[in-house]
Every structure is written in C-alpha cells, then in structure tokens.
C-alpha cells in the first residue's frame, strides 16, 4: 500500500466537512422552526443561506483538486446534531429552549471552525492558495455566526431561560 501523505489527509477532511455541511443544511430549518425568539429564527435562517455558500465553496475545492464532490460520513457532526434534536424534544415549550438551541448551534459552529482552521493551514502548506482563500472566507462566516449566537445568548436567551414559564 502506498504511503499516505498530507494530500490524502486533506482530501479526507474536505470530504468530512462536505458531509457535515450538508447535514447542517438539513438541520438549520428545524432549528429555525423550533426557535422561540424572532431574532434567533432570523439568525438560523441567515446562516442557512451562508451554509449553502459553504457547500458551494467546497464543491469549488473538489474541482480545484480534480476530485468528485463526495462526502464521507462524519459521526462527530451526527452526534452534535442529534444532541440538538434531543434539546428540541426535551425543552419544547420551555423558556430555556432558545438557550439550548444556541448552545447546540455553537457546538456545530465550533466543529466547523476547527475543520476550516485546519484545512486553511493544510491548503497553505500544500501551496493551494485558492483553496486556502475559500476556507478562510467560510471560516470568517462561521466565527461571525458563533459571535452572533453568543450575543443572542447574552442579551436574552439565557436570562429568559432562568424564568419559569408564565
């Protein structure tokens, strides 16, 4: 068997995040429907359209490296999304629901942030400037989303979550 290189690791990781992004695309409308506050609904909807762009950027990366756009099952994102679904079920109708939705959405963003941070570094290492720029663009949007979610948690969801349902 041929020795595996950073190029192989790079391709595997692109496939991992491609799978993850497409799962996230399916999860975000459910999160938006479940959210109680209009601001949180709007935040999930906005990030859904950004996520469509993330999928397209990954398709561009597959093109750049001359490989078919194909995902590879990512159990990490499946687990994070499953936890979010559990929160939706268990906290339905509760004032803590939005705080829970934000916490699971931030777990998703942090997963993406580690992946894109790594991919950007590897693309740079491998001399793939165009791919590195695509990863950097997505990374900036994931980080901005994470910060926006922190703000929403700080301004309303967490305090509201402490109150008993009226």
Cβ 78 to Fe ion, closest distance in Å? 16
Cβ 93 to Fe ion, closest distance in Å? 27
Q: Name, in order, each residue with C-beta under 8 angstroms of 40's C-beta and a sequence gap of 6 or more.
A: 98, 101, 102, 152, 157
| 112 near Fe ion, rule: CB under 5 A | yes
The residues in 13-72 that bind Fe ion, with binding defined as CB under 5 A, are 51, 54
Contact 51, 24 (CB under 8 A): yes
In the bound state with Fe ion, the residue whose beta carbon lies nearer, of 98 and 112, is 112
Cβ 63 to Fe ion, closest distance in Å? 18
Sign, CA torsion 75/77/83/89:
negative
End-to-end distance of the chain based on CA atoms, in angstroms?
65
Binder to Fe ion among 142, 148, 149, 153 (CB under 5 A)?
A: 142
Stretches 29-37, 77-85, 86-94, 108-116: which one binds Fe ion (CB under 5 A)? 108-116
Cβ 116 to Fe ion, closest distance in Å? 8
In the bound state with Fe ion, the residue whose beta carbon lies nearer, of 57 and 100, is 57
| DSSP string across 34-91 | H--SHHHHHHHHHHHHHHHHHHHHHHHHHHHTT--------HHHHHHHHHHHHHHHHT
- Chain positions contacting Fe ion, by CB under 5 A: 51, 54, 112, 142
């Amino acid at each position: 068997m041929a020795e595996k290189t950073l190029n192989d690791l790079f391709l595997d990781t692109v496939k991992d995040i491609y799978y993850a992004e497409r799962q996230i695309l399916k999860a975000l409308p459910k999160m938006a429907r479940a959210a109680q506050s209009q601001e949180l609904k709007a935040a999930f909807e906005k990030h859904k359209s950004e996520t469509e762009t993330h999928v397209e950027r990954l398709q561009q990366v597959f093109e750049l490296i001359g490989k078919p756009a194909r995902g590879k099952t990512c159990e990490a994102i499946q687990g994070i999304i499953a936890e979010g679904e559990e929160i939706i079920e268990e906290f339905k109708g509760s004032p803590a629901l939005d705080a829970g939705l934000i916490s699971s959405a931030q777990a998703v963003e942090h997963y993406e942030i580690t992946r894109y941070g790594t991919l950007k570094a590897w693309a740079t290492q491998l001399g793939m400037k165009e791919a590195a720029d695509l990863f950097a663009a997505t990374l900036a949007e994931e980080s901005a989303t994470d910060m926006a979610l922190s703000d929403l948690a700080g301004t309303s969801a967490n305090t509201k979550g402490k109150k008993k349902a009226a």
